[in-house]
Amino acid sequence: LLGLCLIAQIATGLFLAMHYTADTSMAFSSLAHICRDVNNGWLLRNLHANGASFFFICIYLHIGRGMYYGSFLFKETWNIGVILLFLVMAT
């Protein structure tokens, strides 16, 4: 499930990046352009925004499952998972 969310985030992010302008004076108008003029741009933007929230929900469920089944006893695996969680939060 996390892999599908990540692939969807990357795909929608690439499509949105094709039309987005990061300049401070043009950012809002580029978002308006994406939502109004790009075919299904409003859908891509909403999938990307809500997909990020769904990705974090899946991560927290994955952590909860690991705690329930006692996966924290495997120190190296658990520490790598915590590092990955912090990296995902940082991006």
Q: Rounded to whole angstroms, how far apart are CA atoms 81 and 67? A: 12
What is the model's pTM?
Answer: 0.81
Q: For residues 57 and 88, what is the distance between their CA atoms, to the nearest angstrom?
A: 12
CA nearest 8: which of 41, 42, 49? 49
Q: Which CATH code fits 2-90?
A: 1.20.810.10
Q: Give the tens place of pLDDT for each residue, 48-89.
A: 999 999 999 999 999 999 999 998 899 999 999 999 999 999
CA–CA dist 65, 44 (Å, integer): 30
